[in-house]
Amino acid sequence: MACSLHEVARIIGPEAAKNDLFPVINKLLHDKSDILIFIQKLFLDSRVKKGTIKNMAKFYEALHPTVREQYVDVFLEIQTQNQFNWRIREVISQQMDVLSVIFSDDTTFRIILPICFSLCRDDISIVRKTASKNIYQLFMKMYNSGNPLYKMTVVENIKAFAVLPKYSYRQVFLSMIEPLIQHMEIFEENFIDEFIEIGNDKTPNVRISLA
pLDDT tens-digit readout, 160-177: 999 999 999 999 999 999
pLDDT over threshold 90, residue 76 = no
Segment 118-165, tens digit of pLDDT: 999 999 999 999 999 999 999 999 999 999 999 999 999 999 999 999
Amino acid at 150: Y
Inter-helix orientation angle 167-177/125-133, to 10°: 20
CB distance 122 to 86 below 8 Å: yes
- Alpha carbon distance, N-terminus to C-terminus of the chain: 44
Q: Is 4 exposed, middle or buried (0-12, 13-18, 19+ CB in 10 A)?
A: exposed
Segment 169-209, tens digit of pLDDT: 999 999 999 999 999 999 999 999 999 999 989 999 999 98
pLDDT over threshold 60, residue 33 = no
Confidence (pTM): 0.76
How far apart (Å, rounded) are the C-alpha atoms in residues 29 and 177?
34
- Report the Cα 26 to chain-centroid distance in Å: 19
- Among 49, 103, 40, which residue's Cα sits nearest to residue 77? 49
